[in-house]
Chain A
Amino acid sequence: MDVSDTIIAISSPPGRSRRTLLRLSGPDAFGLLGLSDPPRGCSRHEVELPEGRLPVVALVARGPASFTGDDLVELVVPGSRCLVDLLQRRLHDRAASTGARLRDAGPGEFTARAFFNGRIDLLQAEGIAELIRAETDAQLTAARDLADGALGRLASELLAELIRLTALVEAGIDFTDQEDVVAIEPVDLLVALRGIASSLDRVLADAISIESLASVPTVVLAGPPNAGKSSLFNRLLGRERTVVADLAGTTRDVLREPLALALSDGVLEVMLVDVAGLDEVEQHLPASTIEASMRRAALQAIRVADLVVRCTPPGEPPSGLPGVPDARILEVSTKDDLPAREPRTPGAMRLSARTGSGLDRLRTAIATALGASPNVPASGRLVLGSRHDSALRGCRRRVGALVDMLEASLSAPSELVAAELRSAIDEIGLLQGRVTPDDILEHVFASFCVGK
């Protein structure tokens, strides 16, 4: 455990809740969130993401007067776990691109930091050693699973290849005074690196991760409160995902679930999104309330959706969808099982979540409207946790930088090539354990006739 890293973890209890508490502690906690010199206490803040601005409530405590003794931020993030996962992923990306050290906190690590920094005493900390021990065991189990699994094989193959290449480059640097060492030709190095890059790309593309799910088209169910959106959401998914009640405004979170649509030539996976009823949130609520930020989250989800299914119950006017072009709207008239006393939206597809009528047509219509081809590959997908995913992506970034460097000039300085290779190894090393200079020298000695 490195106490100078910034650590991040969800600190609200697992399971569904309408808001999630995300905790960051460490020297880069403020910087990563774009908070410069934030005031202590509670304030509203928007986190800038590539997908848009995410409204959050930030509870700020400055080290050393915080619980952990370091700079500490607790973010109240409205919406689903998916949104929180996305936020976490983006923060990791940001850390990687700015050189900040961010990683997921281990069990008990916030408490451990509090102890390290003298914020709690030994008596309070007496349970921590046990906790950390649990972490060790969990790490062992995880490592064993990893070593046995497909990811373990992948990581060790990658590592072996990177060590081999590094040894070749290092031999070209450290043993040029020796007769027999032939350094690797830059063009061969480039070919090998392209191979690594493309196999990493393949793995990452095939892998099921939050990232890849976020990249599938999103389909938002929108409409007034109690239009039956959540019933439709559950029915399309074929299971109870959300609490459905006849009370208007039951759905308060933005919910996202992957939905597989059968096409003639494969499967199209879309992200089905259920948002709070649009008119439910009174527009004159103070902007700081959770409700107001949820409304913003709902509107944001609708704005970035690839397709909006506008659900309108009989007798009500369709909800306004400001900023959404008609081409991205699919009109649906819900609750077709009710007696048709009220007027229905003209031209809308009629369906009933209760009886299931019209659902097949809706699936086809969604696929047609998206005009997408299948995006689900066959078997053999790796499931990547966020640590694995960020390790592989980090490695891919380094390899990519190397490929760029060599493509720009095959005579790129070998000490910089070696520096990038070492970084790539360090990224994978997070999965497979540390690689020391000795490991690389070992490889050099085994492969070359060095020494004159």
Chain B
Amino acid sequence: MSTRYDVIVVGGGHAGTEAAWAAASILGRDGRVALVTMDPSRIGTMSCNPAIGGLGKGQIVREIDALGGMMGLAADASGILFKVLNSSRGAAVRGPRCQSDKYAYRAEVQRLLSRQHSISVVAGRIDRLLVDSTGAIEGVLVPPGGGLVEADRSVLELNRCRTARAQPVFPPEPLEADRFVEPTRLLARSVVLTTGTFMRAIMHTGPTTTEGGRAGEGSAVGISGMLRELGFELGRLKTGTPPRLLRGSIDWEDLEPQFGDPQPIPFSDLTDPESFPELRQVDCRLTRTDPSSHELIRANLHRAPMHSGAIDAESGPRYCPSIEDKVVRFPDRDSHHVFLEPESLFCDEVYCNGISTSLPADVQEHVVRSMPGCSAAEILRWGYAVEYDMVRPHQLDATGMTRLVRGLFLAGQINGTSGYEEAGGQGLVAGMNAARLALDLPLETLSRDQAYIGVMMDDLVTRTPREPYRMFTSRAEHRLLLRSDNADQRLTDWGHERGLVDEVRWSAWRSRATELERIRALCEQRVAGAPSVAELMKRQDQTPEAISRVCSARWGIDFPSSLLDRVVTEYRYEGYIRRQASEVKRQRRNESMRIPRELDPQSIHGLRNEARDALRRYRPATLGQAGRVEGITPADLTLISLAIRGGGGVAPRTR
């Protein structure tokens, strides 16, 4: 039995949902997208910290939104604490972040998906990828028991009340009548694989190991074997999550509160500021670890698989270390901060931000109980480490498609990244290109000077991450250009041209663009005896409020502060942006020079062996990308460029 789709997405996490959404946007009404996942009721789950955005990550969420994606909308609908990080600093390094009600977030993602009629949700565990004789993907095989599921309309109604914990829109499994009775082939020219932490996943809490990628869920064993058979080089990574506590058992009121911004700003350009925020806003609390627990951790390191070497993974994230890592790496500190973050408005789960751990339960209990305010804390769920298979991303192009199997796209943690935002950004790129491939359109990439997503895709394919890759603003050399305030300016027209952005979002952006032009023109106007507003804007001592007052005094117009602030930022960064822009222009020639697939590194005369190996491994798509690959020097680049121009290697004539 088989069913034909345009695009099949495997996995319902943050990568998979954005991929399905982007593909559906591009394919339009007649498109057919299948989203296959083990448990549809868990689509859009926040597996770890129920937070969206942050430094570098908030910019990605804004980019996903500017490109028509879901993440910003879901965050706005579910946020219970909004805060712009680095708000005292310049616009380029501000990172919008929110903590979400994790049930509301998941329900919103599912609600949005249920509105896209071209997306069919299929329950099922994929163990086989179907590849044709030419090495192109054909589809996936769903074992019996899987089947199509439908959104539950009554749950959608119920969730609109927001008076109780939001329920999953999709059922965990198909109705009996909808189950496949035999192995079923889902066929498509494009398959996007987003396995998250589920490929050959093992969870560790002390000596206890459980097969599975997330608490209470299974593991996908077949896929990684299949990928290995297809010739992919796999790696193994590990990450961890902290214990969850029962709020009622914490002396909440005794702890120092951490508040959100008094005037929260939504992520999405489509969110109506009038009805935002939709949910009641809360605060989180600050506590800390105790010296006695550091002692205990040191004495029990051999029991922490994350640390003792029991986990067969290369590396965990250094920017998000487990508490045992922190204790070892910073022996002179006898305390670390722990943020207690509510996971939902309607349940009592609290996330302990700062003590991700794989230590056994008895040690975890001591660590938690010795934190101020937590002496009687009840632990709802133990912290655990999870190890999982990944595909080394140098085997991809920046389009998200693998070079080995035409039509197979990978996105999210399978590529060695970490974070919902990183996953969502990759999902969007992969989903867009999966749809483009299905439509016989050329694949597209975002450039490093265009978006953080472009920086990420380029980083992934030009270097092998030593640890789960997460975004930092310092990864973007064009940071001053890639701001969260101008994501629409950078991407919405681009997304509209490619069918990612609908007319509603696009026309809203066009009217903002017109308004921005008007502000810029007025600001440049010379006024006798007084500086132009543009001149005022360049001065660091002029606050945006003061500038706004000048504007209303001069022209009697009150510009929206978000647009006025953006123009102020443009003027403040002007000189630097001009410098960066000239750098961008300089690099563009190399970026646009494609390295043909068939170019054989061996045929490039005079190339050093290290450079040949690097070329073979990373297969850079352009000369510019080759320049960023480890092991390729500027001199090598010259030879490669000569070889491209010569239509092959430039061989010396032997006489």
Contacts and interface: CB of A to CB of B under 8 A. Distances in A.
Given A99-B582, A125-B650, A452-B354, A441 B330 contact: no
Contacts of A416: 90, 480, 573, 576
B307 to A, nearest CB: 14
B650 A3 contact: no
Interface stretch (B332-340, B381-389, B405-413): B332-340
Interface residues of B, number: 67
Interface in A336-391: none
Contacts of A412: 540
B472 A135 contact: no
A179 B652 CA distance: 60
A187 interface: no
Interface string B534-578: 000000100000000000000000000000000000001100101
B474 A1 contact: no
B90 A112 contact: no
Contacts of A216: none
Contacts of B642: 112, 115-116, 125, 128-129, 132
A440 interface: yes
A180 B336 contact: yes
Contacts of B572: 413
Interface string B66-102: 0000000000000000000110011011010100000
A450 interface: yes
A99 B579 CA distance: 7
Interface in A429-452: 436-438, 440-441, 445, 449-452
Interface string A1-24: 111110000000000000000000
Residue from B85, B579, B606 having most chain A Cβ neighbours under 10 A? B606
Contacts of B97: 177
Contacts of B320: 451-452
A69 B652 CA distance: 23
A128 B650 CA distance: 9
Given A126-B650, A129-B652, A440-B474, A419 B576 contact: yes
Contacts of A170: 472, 474
Given A179-B336, A409-B540, A451-B321, A126 B653 contact: yes
B622 interface: no
A174 interface: yes
Contacts of B573: 416
A3 B55 contact: no
Interface stretch (B142-150, B190-198, B630-638): B630-638
Contact of B353 (A112, A122, A423, A452): A452
Interface string A117-128: 000001001111
A145 interface: no
B128 interface: no
A261 B170 CA distance: 92
B317 interface: yes
Interface string A67-91: 0000000000000000000000000
Contacts of B641: 1, 3, 116
Nearest to B636: A136
B339 A452 contact: yes
Nearest to A101: B586
Interface string A176-189: 11011000000000
B650 A129 contact: yes
A418 interface: yes
Given A129-B606, A449-B330, A135 B635 contact: yes
Given A1-B635, A132-B642, A437-B475, A451 B318 contact: yes
A437 B456 CA distance: 12
B579 A438 contact: no
Contact of A437 (B89, B90, B477): B477
Nearest to A127: B652
B463 A438 contact: yes
Interface string B573-614: 100101110100111111000000000000001101000000
Contacts of B476: 437
A130 B320 CA distance: 49
A139 interface: yes
Nearest to A1: B638
B56 interface: yes
Contacts of A173: 55, 86, 89, 93, 473-474
Residue from A419, A423, A450 having most chain B Cβ neighbours under 10 A? A419
A133 interface: yes
B93 A451 contact: no
B40 to A, nearest CB: 32
A174 B319 CA distance: 11
A126 B635 contact: no
Nearest to A98: B582
A448 B534 CA distance: 40
A43 interface: no
Contact of A179 (B337, B605, B634): B337
Given A99-B578, A415-B480, A451-B319, A122 B650 contact: yes
A139 B635 contact: yes
A199 interface: no
B606 A130 contact: yes
B54 A177 contact: yes
A141 interface: no
A450 to B, nearest CB: 5
A414 interface: yes
10 contacts: A1-B634, A112-B638, A122-B650, A135-B635, A413-B89, A413-B90, A415-B473, A416-B480, A437-B475, A452-B338
The 5 closest A-B pairs by CB, nearest first: A179-B337, A1-B638, A413-B90, A133-B606, A452-B354
Given A116-B645, A122-B646, 17 more contacts: A1-B634, A4-B586, A5-B586, A115-B645, A122-B650, A129-B651, A132-B638, A174-B56, A177-B54, A177-B97, A180-B330, A413-B90, A415-B92, A449-B333, A450-B319, A451-B317, A451-B319
Interface of B: 54-56, 85-86, 89-90, 92-93, 95, 97, 317-321, 326, 329-330, 333, 336-339, 353-354, 463, 472-477, 479-480, 540, 572-573, 576, 578-580, 582, 585-590, 605-606, 608, 628, 633-635, 637-639, 641-642, 645-646, 650-653
